[in-house]
């Protein structure tokens, strides 16, 4: 039958033994139940039990802290790993862990961090495994400081989960897709929101450039276009430069055309037969010829046609044709008062002779 010890009256009840001794409540397989609050005062409390159930939804650690922060520098939960050579592990809140970048504040913060680490080597951290991280709508900062990088080491060909690879070869024409099934048919998955690693980016760019049919650089109505002759051995490659929509330069293996001029070997000529080729120096400077100058005979001289004289006030035209009485073959033509004048420049010997005769 049950036995009761009841103390009545406004009195405390104390069970005391000599210092250093032990009080044991031995129920065998029974239960010790405390109705009311249970306070343990001392420096150490050990609970040796297989199953520990706590009804409270919040466990307070480091209770009674009198400082502005955790005096010991950190507080958390330690897990006994027995004889493991790397020792115990712990999940702790560390006050002095250096500054880190807080996305919400947009600045550095030193309020402390949560760490999963080895108890014997606090600088060695332990991985956290989870499917999702919720940043509550703010930016998710994955490094926070130093020279760290976000990597995907340890994965199996991560890039094949970013872009479409078949047998290890990327297909950039499929854009932001990846292959998730190859048999009995190929099935693709959209990867618009997938982070790209360095290898996937390099593979994608190399394949895109390899397959790209683009042969021009363009900004607005200004462009550079390259035309390749391809496999045709008689084809001619060209480079065309358009400025403000106008073709200002064309380059091929035979010649260069620039703003109405054609450069072919050592020849400079005007494309439009109705325009003169003008050599002009700025201001009072001159056009200088630092070598001998050959004036070829006009191509129509053989037909008895002299070049047209320039208009009045336009200057004097020099041209060459078979030598006449002036014995030079260098002729001029100009216009004054509406009248054209053309004649041959006279050589020195003929000038002397004409001077004697006339």
Residue ranges covered by each domain of the chain: 158-211, 216-270, 301-357
Angle (nearest 5°) at CA 88 between 82 and 91? 140
The Cα 314–Cα 317 span in angstroms is 9
Q: What is the DSSP string of 31-96?
A: -----S-----SS------S------S----STT--SSS-TTSEEEEEE--TT-TT--EEEEEES-
Q: For the chain, what is the largest distance between any 2 Cα atoms, rounded to a whole number of angstroms?
A: 171
Per-residue pLDDT of the chain (358 residues), as tens digits, is: 677 777 777 778 888 999 889 999 898 888 888 888 988 888 888 888 888 889 999 999 999 999 989 999 999 999 999 999 999 999 999 988 876 777 777 777 767 889 999 999 999 999 999 999 998 888 888 887 778 899 998 889 999 999 999 989 999 999 999 999 989 999 999 999 999 999 999 999 999 888 876 778 888 899 998 888 775 567 788 999 999 989 999 999 899 999 989 999 999 999 877 788 899 999 999 999 999 999 988 777 777 788 889 999 999 999 999 999 899 999 999 999 999 999 999 998 888 887 787 6
Angle (nearest 5°) at CA 122 between 118 and 125? 60
87 token code pair: 């020792």
Query: Does the model's pTM come out above 0.85?
Result: no
Q: Contact 88/79 with Cβ under 8 angstroms?
A: yes
The residues with which 118 forms a beta bridge, in sequence order, are: 89
Rama region for 125: left / alpha / beta (φ>0; ψ in -120 to 50; rest)? beta
């Amino acid at each position: 039958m049950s036995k009761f010890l009841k103390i009545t009256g406004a009195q405390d009840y104390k069970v005391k033994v000599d210092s250093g001794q032990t009080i044991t409540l031995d129920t065998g397989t029974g239960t010790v139940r405390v109705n009311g609050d249970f306070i343990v005062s001392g420096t150490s409390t050990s609970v040796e039990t297989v199953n520990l159930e706590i009804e409270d939804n919040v466990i307070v650690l480091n209770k009674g802290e009198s400082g502005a922060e955790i005096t010991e520098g950190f507080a958390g939960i330690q897990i006994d790993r027995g004889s493991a050579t790397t020792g115990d592990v712990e999940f702790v809140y560390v006050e002095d862990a250096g500054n880190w970048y807080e996305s919400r504040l947009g600045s550095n913060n030193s309020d402390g961090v949560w760490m999963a680490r080895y108890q014997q080597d606090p600088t060695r951290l332990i991985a956290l495994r989870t499917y999702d991280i919720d940043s509550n709508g703010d930016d998710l900062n994955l490094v926070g400081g130093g020279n760290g990088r976000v990597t995907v080491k340890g994965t199996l060909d991560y890039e094949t989960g970013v872009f479409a690879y078949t047998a290890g070869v990327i297909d950039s024409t499929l854009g932001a897709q990846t292959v998730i099934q190859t048999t009995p048919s190929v099935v693709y998955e959209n990867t618009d929101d997938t982070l790209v690693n360095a290898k996937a980016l390099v593979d994608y760019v190399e394949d895109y450039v390899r397959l790209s049919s683009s042969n021009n650089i363009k900004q607005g109505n200004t462009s550079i276009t390259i035309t390749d002759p391809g496999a045709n051995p008689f084809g001619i490659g060209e480079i065309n430069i358009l400025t403000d929509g106008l073709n200002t330069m064309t380059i091929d293996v035979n010649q260069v055309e620039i703003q109405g001029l054609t450069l072919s070997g050592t020849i400079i000529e005007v494309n439009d037969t109705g325009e003169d080729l003008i050599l002009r120096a700025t201001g009072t400077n001159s056009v200088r010829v630092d070598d001998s100058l050959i004036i070829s005979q006009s191509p129509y001289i053989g037909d008895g046609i002299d070049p047209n004289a320039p208009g009045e006030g336009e200057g004097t035209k020099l041209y060459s044709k078979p030598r006449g009485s002036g014995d030079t073959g260098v002729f001029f033509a100009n216009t004054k008062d509406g009248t054209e004048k053309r004649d041959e420049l006279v050589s020195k010997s003929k000038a002397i002779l004409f001077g004697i005769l006339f």
